[in-house]
């Protein structure tokens, strides 16, 4: 969406929280007007490692995170919750790569602290594929704030994340850490969300203990394809919204859309929820 507004490809979207705040505000407003009850801060890649790789912005992690949270807070006011968005570091964890658990905890703690200081209502850790990185993000957040935590992982059509994590293992490992919500986001198309919800609900019931985390379904708008050098996703707003009653039936309580979606997709989802719940 930001690239459509002129953000150069390859440039860190988080920089616009300070340099083009009105563009970020306009997007927040578009999602609020579409009926979003939770909006995410423009900080998906706003951790020190990723910002450093995007043009040496690591030093500005806290400043960019706080600014992002304040922008979203000011637009949402009391009409929606603001989720402080934290995506993966983009670095492989030990033993596959150089990132130690302790270092990862510190990186996520720094980002979560800035988001909390900027006034978010919760922290949303998303698009995770490595269980250890997800754990590090949760631990880092819990070191600096007691805000509620949502955690969603990205699953492929084989029913696992890229790093081989199943929905059952994710629930068994992460839910006991004290999550408010758990589920799937992004991933390979929209159909992957169905086995994810079925497995996660069953694993939650088995794990016992209350309260159980709420279930999240935040799929991409279908699958991407290239058209004239542009990435297009193959599900329109109504096609995506048509899946919503099934997600609700399977126990999803937090429903949204990820890559390839637009405010029109969210508006269609909001209508579908109003029609089925």
- Nearest residue (CB) to Zn ion, 104 versus 258: 258
Question: Cβ of residue 209: shortest distance to Zn ion, in angstroms?
Answer: 30
Question: Cβ of residue 218: shortest distance to Zn ion, in angstroms?
Answer: 8
CB 217 within 8 A of CB 255: yes
DSSP conformational letter for 92: P
156: left (phi over 0), alpha (psi -120 to 50) or beta: beta
- Nearest residue (CB) to Zn ion, 109 versus 181: 181
CB 118 within 8 A of CB 68: yes
- Residue 41: closest CA among 188, 150, 135: 150
3-state secondary structure 192-208: CHHHHHHHHHHHHHHHC
DSSP conformational letter for 8: P
Question: Cβ of residue 28: shortest distance to Zn ion, in angstroms?
Answer: 18
Question: Cβ of residue 221: shortest distance to Zn ion, in angstroms?
Answer: 9
Residue 5 to residues 69, 90, 142, 269, Cα–Cα distance (Å): 20, 25, 35, 24
- Nearest residue (CB) to Zn ion, 105 versus 133: 133
Question: Cβ of residue 45: shortest distance to Zn ion, in angstroms?
Answer: 12
Distance CA 12, CA 45 (A): 8
- Nearest residue (CB) to Zn ion, 129 versus 204: 129
Question: Cβ of residue 126: shortest distance to Zn ion, in angstroms?
Answer: 8
* Positions in the binding site for Zn ion (CB under 5 A): 186, 258-259
Name, in order, each residue with C-beta under 8 angstroms of 148's C-beta and a sequence gap of 6 or more.
121, 122, 123, 180, 181
- Nearest residue (CB) to Zn ion, 124 versus 142: 124
- Nearest residue (CB) to Zn ion, 85 versus 144: 85
């Amino acid at each position: 969406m930001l690239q459509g507004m002129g953000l150069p490809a390859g440039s860190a979207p988080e920089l616009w929280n300070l340099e083009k705040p009105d563009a970020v505000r306009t997007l927040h407003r578009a999602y609020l007007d579409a009926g979003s009850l939770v909006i995410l801060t423009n900080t998906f890649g706003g951790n020190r490692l990723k910002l450093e790789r995007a043009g040496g912005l690591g030093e500005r992690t806290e400043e960019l995170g706080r600014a992002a949270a304040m922008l979203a807070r000011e637009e949402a006011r009391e009409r929606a919750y603001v989720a402080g968005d934290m995506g993966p570091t983009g670095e492989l964890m030990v033993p596959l790569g150089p990132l130690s658990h302790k270092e990862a905890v510190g990186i996520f703690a720094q980002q979560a602290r800035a988001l909390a200081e900027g006034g978010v209502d919760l922290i949303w850790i998303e698009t995770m594929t490595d269980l250890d990185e997800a754990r590090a993000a949760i631990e880092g957040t819990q070191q600096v704030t007691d805000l509620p935590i949502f955690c969603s992982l990205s699953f492929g059509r084989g029913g696992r994340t890229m790093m081989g994590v199943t929905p059952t293992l994710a629930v068994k490992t992460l839910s006991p850490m004290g999550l408010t919500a758990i589920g799937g986001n992004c991933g390979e198309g929209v159909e992957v969300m169905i086995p994810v919800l079925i497995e996660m609900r069953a694993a939650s019931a088995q794990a016992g203990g209350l309260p159980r985390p709420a279930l999240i379904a935040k799929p991409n708008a279908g699958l991407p394809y290239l058209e004239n050098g542009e990435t297009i996703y193959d599900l329109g707003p109504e096609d995506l919204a048509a899946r919503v009653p099934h997600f609700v039936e399977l126990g999803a309580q937090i429903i949204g859309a990820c890559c390839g979606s637009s405010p029109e997709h969210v508006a269609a989802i909001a209508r579908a929820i109003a029609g089925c719940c």
